[in-house]
Structure formats: C-alpha cells, structure tokens
C-alpha cells in the first residue's frame, strides 16, 4: 500500500515539475501571440500608408494590406509554437503543416476556394471598389472585397455578401466600367402622326435635356408597326452612375410628354377593332347547298 502511495506521489511530483518547466515557455508563447495581434495591426497600417502613396489601384492596395496582416500572424504563430514547445524545430513545423494541410484542405475547402478567388479578383481587377456591378439578380455598388466574400450595397441600401468563388465564376456586368452609358427608351405614336416631325421633336428634346451627353449624339430609330402605335426608340448617353441614369431618364420622359402635348402628338392607348358579321350569312360550316 505504501509503495502505491509513493508511486502516486512521485507521479504527481513529476507532473508538477514538468508543468513548472513548461509554464514559462507557455507564458512566453501566449505573450508572443498577444504581441502578434498588435504587430499585425501596426504592419497593416504601415503597409496601408505605403501602398496608398505608391499604388493607384485600390484592389492591389487591399491585396498588399491583407497579405501583410496574415503574414504577420503566420510568423507570430510559428515563433509562439517554438517558444511554447522548446523541442519543436522549424523542420517539424513544416512537416506538420505538410501533413495537416491535406486534412485542413478537405475540412475548409470552401474557405480556401473563396480565399484564392478573392486574391485572383484583387489581382485581375474585373471591377474595382465603388464600381456598380450586376451578378445574376444582385446589383449594386462594390463596398469591399474580403478574404471570403465580396460586399455589394444594393441601390435600396441593402448589403449583399457574395462568396468570392461565385463572383469569380459568374458573368459580371460592370455598369461603371466606362465613363458613359446608353439608355434605350421606347416611345409610341399613333398612325396619324408625321414621323419626320416626331423624330425632329425627339432629337431637339435630347439636345436640351440636362444630363444627356452630346457625344455620342442621341439617335431616334423607327423599330416597329405595333397594333395601336408606331414605335420609336430614343437612344441617348449619360454618365454611367445609376443615380445619374435614373434621374436623366425621368427628365427625358417628362420632356417628351410635354413636347408631344404641345404639338398635338398622341401616345395611344392599346386599341382593338371589333367586326360584327351575320353568322348565318358567313358560316363556313354549312353545306354548300344550304348556304346558297
């Protein structure tokens, strides 16, 4: 019985002794991790100041800022691991990372795919921060590109977070890729309207409406003989921002309506003509003898 007690006491003493020897190393590792947090923030600020002065592209600026932040954390974690476990060498860490990367890759494959897609988006720059884009049914202004998601603020003021892999692999319509953007506005006039007069009025209006660009020059095309109207399309250019496009279209529509009213040009309602026949006289199903 005495031997068992002595064995337990010796085990406890060894455990306490090991803890006392390891404790300073663990504390040192924790201190390094705490310092790494501040070092990452400081390096991020320093890199941000440097890239803002040397690199014009906002996307590349974000890439370097994020790279400095994560690089600092990786270095800090490695140093903390070596301090906390003195027997651990850099070769052991690399070997452990090599073996563990496969398992981690399977467990976090979606995160890694979004991470890589985010880096490729920042490098290739299919769009920039503050560009207005449309991806599937989502449309708005690009607010930020994170490691996992791309933030889009819709025109209604809602925030949409799209996975970077979806953004990278989807067809993207960049509304603000160029300084100007064309709007096609359809207008219908009745069949009694003089088409040269209607075209002339529309072209005069386009030259006067605020927000319509003179170059490229607005155009008016005849496009269709509809059931109740002859359809024309007014093609004009504005700035590419959505707010400018929307406000200019409102001014254009108001000006067209006012000008047509002043010149007695009618924008017709849908019209249907109904013909009444004597069904006994015009009955295709009666035998020829009976119909005579």
Q: How far apart are CA 277 and CA 223, in angstroms?
A: 34
For residues 216 and 238, give the distance between their C-alpha atoms in angstroms, rounded to a whole number: 9
Q: Please, are residues 122 and 145 in contact by the beta-carbon 8 Å criterion?
A: yes
What's the whole-number mean pLDDT along residues 135-143?
93
87: pLDDT confidence band, cut at 50, 70 and 90?
low
Element (H, E) at 158: none
- Torsion (CA) 155, 159, 162, 164 in degrees, nearest 10: 100
Q: CA nearest 238: which of 181, 184, 185, 186?
A: 181
Q: Which residue has the tokens 């529509």?
A: 253
- The alpha-helical segments, DSSP class H, found in 232-278 are 242-262
Q: What is the pLDDT of residues 162-172, one digit of tens each?
A: 999 999 999 99
Q: How much is the pLDDT for 278? A: 62
The Cα-based distances of 188 to 121, 224, 231, 235 in angstroms read 44, 9, 4, 14
Q: Confidence band (pLDDT; 50, 70, 90) for 116? A: confident
Residue 147 and residue 113 in contact, taking contact as beta carbons nearer than 8 Å: no
* Domains of the chain with CATH codes: 2-107 (no CATH), 126-174 (2.30.30.60), 180-262 (3.30.70.100)
- Half-sphere CA count of 11, side-chain side, radius 13 A: 6
Report the pLDDT value the prediction gives residue 199, as an integer from 0 to 100. 92
What is the residue-wise DSSP string for 88-134? --HHHHHHHHHHHHHHHHHHTHHHHHHHHHHHHHHHH-SS-TT-EEE
Which residues fall within 8 angstroms of residue 41, CB to CB, at 6 or more apart? Answer: 69
What is d(CA 160, CA 143) in angstroms, rounded to the nearest whole number? 10
Residue 114 has pLDDT above 80, yes or no: yes
Would you report the helix, strand and coil content of the chain in percent, each value rounded to 5?
55, 20, 30
Instruction: Report residue 236's pLDDT band, with 50, 70 and 90 as the boundaries.
Output: very high
């Amino acid at each position: 019985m005495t031997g068992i007690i002595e064995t337990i006491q010796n085990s406890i003493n060894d455990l306490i002794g090991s803890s006392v020897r390891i404790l300073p190393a663990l504390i040192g590792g924790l201190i390094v991790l705490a310092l790494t947090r501040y070092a990452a923030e400081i390096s991020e600020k320093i890199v941000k100041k440097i890239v803002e002065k040397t690199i014009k592209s906002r996307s590349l600026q974000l890439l370097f800022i994020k790279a400095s932040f994560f690089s600092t954390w990786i270095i800090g974690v490695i140093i903390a691991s070596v301090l906390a476990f003195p027997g651990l060498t850099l070769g052991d860490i690399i070997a452990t990372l090599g073996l563990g990367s496969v398992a981690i890759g399977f467990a976090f494959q979606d995160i890694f795919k979004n991470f890589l897609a985010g880096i490729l988006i920042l490098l290739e720059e299919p769009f920039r921060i503050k560009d207005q884009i449309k991806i599937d049914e989502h449309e708005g202004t690009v607010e930020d590109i994170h490691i996992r998601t791309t933030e889009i603020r819709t025109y209604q003021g809602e925030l949409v977070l799209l996975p970077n892999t979806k953004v990278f692999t989807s067809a993207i319509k960049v509304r603000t890729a160029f300084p100007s953007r064309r709007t096609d506005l359809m207008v219908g006039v009745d069949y009694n309207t003089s088409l040269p007069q209607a075209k002339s009025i529309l072209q005069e209006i386009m030259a006067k409406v605020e927000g319509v660009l003179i170059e490229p020059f607005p155009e008016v095309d005849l496009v269709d003989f509809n059931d109740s109207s002859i359809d024309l399309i007014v093609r004009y250019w504005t700035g590419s921002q959505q707010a400018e496009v929307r406000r200019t279209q409102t001014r254009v529509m108001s000006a067209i309506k006012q000008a047509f009213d002043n010149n007695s040009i009618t924008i017709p309602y849908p019209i249907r003509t109904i013909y009444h026949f004597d069904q006994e006289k015009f009955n295709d199903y009666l035998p020829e003898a009976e119909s005579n």
